[in-house]
Amino acid sequence: MNIAVIFGGKSDEHEVSRNSAVNVIDGLGSDRYEITQIGITKEGRWYQTEAATDEIASGEWENRADNKQVCLPADPTIHGILVFDDEERAAVKHIDCIIPVMHGDNGEDGTIQGLFELAEIPYVGPGVKASANCMDKSFTKIIVGEIGIDQARYCVIKRKDFADDREGEIMNALSTNDGKLPLFVKPSSAGSSVGASKVEKKSELETAIENAFKYDDKVLVEEMIVGREMEVAVLGNHNPKASYVGEILSAGEFYDYDAKYNNPESKTRVVDDIPVGKQKEIRSKAVEIFKALDCRGLSRVDFFYTEEGRVVFNEINTLPGFTNISMYPQLWEAMGIDRPTLLDSLIKLAMEEHSTTS
């Protein structure tokens, strides 16, 4: 079976994608699958590469002379990629299943999933609508709110509205939690906590909003929930299963991009010190949210757990990381499912979903 692993892309999470791809490629194993490595540069150019995993991790893969430019046509009769030689002649390479190891814009927002759908190639992860709704946190919150799941109070600020009435939008943001601080400000459609800020003074709010607008045209302002940060890995299609509950022990004030990827003091662990009933509640809500958002394959669902025992939904990630520190594969490993077995399951789920919808 030929598995295409696609990584990189133009998003701000390009480097995270490369590091995830390394672990996916190693987990698949060239002795078990034929692996087609497709890297997308920050400029958006697609190449098939024979690079070693250390070259992928460092970004040096782009400098290989034997890289071949490729494209994925939306023609379902091809069922694969076009590989171009030096004279720009194209040869078809059949692909059985795609693993998009991509994060952020164009990777987990439904864009590339739409291309896979047009090409009629099975792929790992949620479909177009679920990916789009989960990437945009404001839409996620609407759907999660409809099923009665507890979540932080919030407001949404759009770039055009902020430009037209800056003072009015700042006042709306301050009213999110009845004027109480701190607040969290984040782009509505960015992952890995990119562009997120904690606002402790009113004077900081405008700058935080402007910073979030660097990454998206829509900004989310949320009340601060004081609690432990919990994560649950979900796996499956129509009968999904939840992993044990994991916890983030952030070395920073909150788990932003720097704390997640650049601070070695940040840790993750499987939870064993909260009531079993609450663990079951968190796992049950993760599955309920996964289903409500019409996800399939995999997702990671994040919550806050407060001292009062309140379980508060934070966000969902439809293509969670597979880096060395990523919680998703760690949680399944804690349940006895190693990375190769997990990847086998994801490929099987993708093939099953494709067979029922094609």
Q: Any known ligand binding at 11?
A: no
Q: Which of 11, 299, 326, 345 is catalytic?
A: 326
**Measuring CA to CA, how many Å separate 243 from each of 122, 140, 321?**
25, 21, 16
**Measuring CA to CA, how many Å separate 117 from each of 3, 39, 50, 243, 350?**
16, 20, 26, 29, 12
Cα–Cα distance for residue pair 261/254, rounded to 1 Å: 13
- Are the beta carbons of 94 and 79 closer than 8 angstroms? yes
Q: Any known ligand binding at 243?
A: no
Q: Any known ligand binding at 227?
A: yes
Q: Any known ligand binding at 225?
A: yes
Q: Any known ligand binding at 186?
A: yes
Q: Any known ligand binding at 12?
A: no
Q: Which of 188, 189, 192, 299 is catalytic?
A: 192
Q: Any known ligand binding at 315?
A: yes
Q: Which residues pair with 300 in a beta bridge?
A: 233, 317
- Let me know the angle formed at the C-alpha of 260 by 100 and 176, rounded to the nearest 5 degrees: 95
- Count the neighbouring beta carbons within 10 Å of the beta carbon of residue 259: 17
Q: Any known ligand binding at 117?
A: no
Q: Any known ligand binding at 88?
A: no
> Is 192 labeled as catalytic in the residue annotation?
yes
> Is 281 labeled as catalytic in the residue annotation?
no
Question: 3-state DSSP call for residue 111?
Answer: helix
Q: Any known ligand binding at 102?
A: no
Q: Where are the beta strands (DSSP E) in the chain?
A: 2-8, 34-40, 46-48, 68-71, 80-84, 90-94, 97-101, 154-158, 183-187, 197-199, 218-223, 228-236, 241-249, 267-270, 297-305, 311-317
Q: Any known ligand binding at 139?
A: no
Q: Any known ligand binding at 222?
A: yes
Query: Tokens representing 91?
Result: 């040869």
Q: Any known ligand binding at 137?
A: yes
Instruction: Kindly state the DSSP code that residue 253 receives in the 8-state scheme.
Output: S
Q: Any known ligand binding at 129?
A: no
> Is 355 labeled as catalytic in the residue annotation?
no
Q: Which residues contact 343 (CB under 8 A, 6 or more apart)?
A: 24, 27, 28, 99
Q: Any known ligand binding at 322?
A: no
Q: How many helices (DSSP H) and strands (DSSP E) are in the chain? A: 12, 16
- Let me know the angle formed at the C-alpha of 295 by 222 and 154, rounded to the nearest 5 degrees: 10
Q: Any known ligand binding at 260?
A: no
Ramachandran sector of residue 77 (left: φ over 0; alpha: ψ -120 to 50; beta: rest): alpha
Q: Any known ligand binding at 254?
A: no
Q: Which of 11, 13, 108, 188 is catalytic?
A: 13
Binding residues for ATP: 137, 184-186, 192-193, 222-229, 314-315
Binding residues for Mg(2+): 302, 315, 317
Catalytic residue annotation: 13, 192, 326
